[in-house]
Structure 1
Amino acid sequence: MTINIPSDEVDATRLAFREGMAQLAAAVNIVTTDGPGGLAGFTASAVCSVTDRPPTLLVCLNRSSSVAGMFERNRVLCVNTLAAGHEPMSKLFGGSTPQDDRFAVGDWVLAATGSPRLTDAVVSFDCEVENAVESGTHHVLFCRVVGIVHGPEDEEALVYFRRRYHHLK
């Protein structure tokens, strides 16, 4: 058997992978938690559905991040999908800003799990972490959804593609 490899195919190196992932558009989310481990939040695009029976999301979290231990201890989180006007908040939660300062921006309420929920998110998924698997540099969190709050239907979503923010209606 002969396999023809296209001339634009490259080896799966770390750099090639990162460049390829830049071509994968993704929703921008702020993932939050609160509990015995403390109040924390981070910006994430590595969020996806797993199943609707029971409703379950997958969230990836870098094990070396300053918030990883807080999420591990709290075992609850809320995935807040950002709207077009939330770009500054995405940058704030994606940087080195202290946790308390991050939550000083935006309108937050507590979800049923005690995790902060952004009141003007496109959608928020309140979750309990059921399982965590280590893969490479990250924790892959399997999160059972216990509550969902939908935002305004006419709101544009914030997406990340080719290392830039875009709006999607």
Structure 2
Amino acid sequence: MTLVQDHRPAGTDQRDRFVAAMGNAATGVTVVATDGPGGRCAQTVSAMCSVSADPPSLLVCVNERSPLIEAVRRNGVFSVNVLDTGQAHVADSFAGRSAAGRPYDFGCADWETGRTGAPVLAQAAAAFECVLERDTAQGTHRVLLGHAVASTPGSGAPLLYHARAYGAHRPITPPGATAPGSATVNEETAR
């Protein structure tokens, strides 16, 4: 049996179903930022994932029309800032829909200059400073692969995005297990 892949462009129905299905995937919310000869620029990005711990590397996917792409190429560095649940306003600002102030305004939060020169968001749930390793085209987006030269875990909980809304992680208790912080029958009768 021979399998042949169909590489024709997806029809509107297939594309719409894909977008709807992806809306059911919960993702973390990040702001990818850069600074250097190519300018200071940042954008909200939900497509980010770890690639490897050896060497530490991650990837982000950014629309090819974003000015962030050219700035990262010219600067050769970028940071990935995992937003905390209290930083939804930062996500909105760098997505171009700021409720207060100007969109894409670094004044919406406190930033530090990282080891690479890229801006790093203060109080982020996590931050990664990367050197650009590879820039690959995939459809309407660019996949930026970065070598993480510095990683900073924060103490807050990460902001999540699902079904076109922000949210927060809520642990679930597996069947038969006791929820954290709750007493079991034996603990209660022992009191």
Which residue number in structure 1 is paired with residue 138 of structure 2? 135
Deviant stretches of 4+, over 6 Å: none
Which residue number in structure 1 is paired with residue 96 of structure 2? 95
Extract unaligned runs of 5+ from structure 1: 1-10
TM-score computed with the length of structure 1 as normaliser: 0.87
Which residue number in structure 1 is paired with residue 4 of structure 2? none
AA aligned to 2:26 is A
Task: State whether residues 94 and 103 of structure 2, in contact with CA within 8 Å, keep that contact through their aligned partners in structure 1.
Answer: no
AA aligned to 1:123 is A
Q: Secondary structure at the match of 1:104?
A: helix
Shift of 1:156: 2.1
Q: Secondary structure at the match of 1:113?
A: coil
Aligned residues: 156
AA aligned to 2:150 is G
AA aligned to 1:60 is C
Extract unaligned runs of 5+ from structure 2: 1-11, 171-191
Q: Which has the higher strand share?
A: 1
Structure 2 Cα separation of the partners of residues 17 and 28 of structure 1 = 20
Shift of 1:164: 0.6
Aligned Cα RMSD in Å? 1.8
Which of 50-59 and 62-71 deviates more? 62-71
Q: Deviations over 1:39-87 (max 9, x none)?
A: 0000011000111110110111111113221122112100000011101
Structure 1 Cα separation of the partners of residues 54 and 13 of structure 2 = 34
Q: Whose relative contact order is higher, 1 or 2, with alpha carbons under 8 Å and at least 6 apart?
A: 1
Q: Secondary structure at the match of 1:126?
A: strand
Task: State whether residues 56 and 148 of structure 2, in contact with CA within 8 Å, keep that contact through their aligned partners in structure 1.
Answer: yes
Structure 2 Cα separation of the partners of residues 18 and 79 of structure 1 = 24
From the CA coordinates, give the structure whose radius of gyration is larger.
2
Shift of 1:12: 7.3
Structure 1 Cα separation of the partners of residues 64 and 74 of structure 2 = 13
